[in-house]
Amino acid sequence: MRRVELGYVVGGVPEVCRPMVPRVRSIIVSTSMTGGRTSVPRSDDELRAIYDQRYVDHYDAHAVRRIRRMLPFFELSGHEIVADFGCGNGVLLELISPRVRQYAGIDFSEAFVHAAGRRRDERGIQNGTFHCADIVTFCAQHANHFDAAFALDVSEHIYDDQFLRIGRAIHGALKPGAPLYLHTPNAEYFMERLRASGILRRIEGHVAVRDAGRNEALLRQCGFTNVRVRYLAHYLRAAAALHSLGALPLVGRHFRARLFMTCRKGPRT
């Protein structure tokens, strides 16, 4: 496929995308009628076992591009103490270190934490630390401590009960009025529907890809308010071309690949 870069188009579909519309529409309709496959939930130990050294060594080469495009949405003045939950190999630190006072990355994967530390040291970054820890335990030890929190490409890796447990813990670790930034695949995106139906292979570790409504409901159950949803194009350029089809009636929602959500802990009462 020829790579094209298209902006956000309001009203109308780019000519280069129009031949794709009937085929993709038929796929969406057929998967909607047949439904998705139900998978057996994995245990905590089985989920943890996924993120070993092999996983880390082959981690997403597009992570910097994927996260960099979110930077305009982060409200950072340079004075914040922030937490990055599910920090992976620490890509976020190198992108926001000039804009925060102190960064803490938290991940249960020892392999990821070691990789994150190496990445930080190679770049000479001084204001970041990494912690191999359980998020709930870490948050209990840092109540009302952080000015902002990030959970980027994390929530699709956890089931609803884990989402609520972790989300409530993060809520408790934030200062009143502080934001949480969440980024995750959109379950309504046609590629995710194909994965859910079994036509495409699921991405390893993606056990609970949700739509905007379900994510918002869970965030509110965790105690967050002022939930705002933005739909982002796919981070790969060729796939991003389809984002303009989001302007289509009825099926447009199936071309919005990614969710970027902002919510806040309520003010002190």
Domains recognised in the chain with CATH numbers = 15-34+63-265 (3.40.50.150)
pLDDT in tens, 231-245: 999 998 889 999 999
Q: Which residue type occupies 147?
A: D
Average pLDDT score over residue span 38-57: 72
CB 259 within 8 A of CB 231: yes
pLDDT in tens, 162-195: 999 999 999 999 999 999 999 999 999 999 999 9
Strand partners, 174: 146
CA distance 60 to 15: 31
pLDDT in tens, 61-108: 788 999 999 999 999 999 999 999 999 999 999 999 999 999 999 999
Q: Are strands 148-152 and 81-85 parallel, antiparallel or unpaired?
A: parallel
Q: What pLDDT does residue 194 have?
A: 96
| Residue 3 to residues 181, 238, 242, Cα–Cα distance (Å) | 30, 5, 11
Q: What pLDDT does residue 268 have?
A: 78
Count Cα atoms within 13 angstroms, Cβ side, for 217. 7
pLDDT in tens, 246-269: 889 989 999 999 999 999 999 976
- Counting residues of the chain whose pLDDT is more than 70, the rounded percentage is 84
pLDDT at 111 over 70: yes
Average pLDDT score over residue span 37-57: 70
Closest by CA position to 150, among listed 102, 106, 215, 97: 106
Average pLDDT score over residue span 203-222: 96
| Residue 32 to residues 37, 179, 239, Cα–Cα distance (Å) | 12, 35, 21
Reduced to 3 states (helix: H, G, I; strand: E, B; else coil), residue 257 is coil
Q: Average the pLDDT over each of 10-24, 92-106, 145-159, 248-262 and give the range with the smallest value.
A: 10-24
Closest by CA position to 190, among listed 250, 111, 142: 250
- Angle (CA) 229 235 239, round 5°: 105
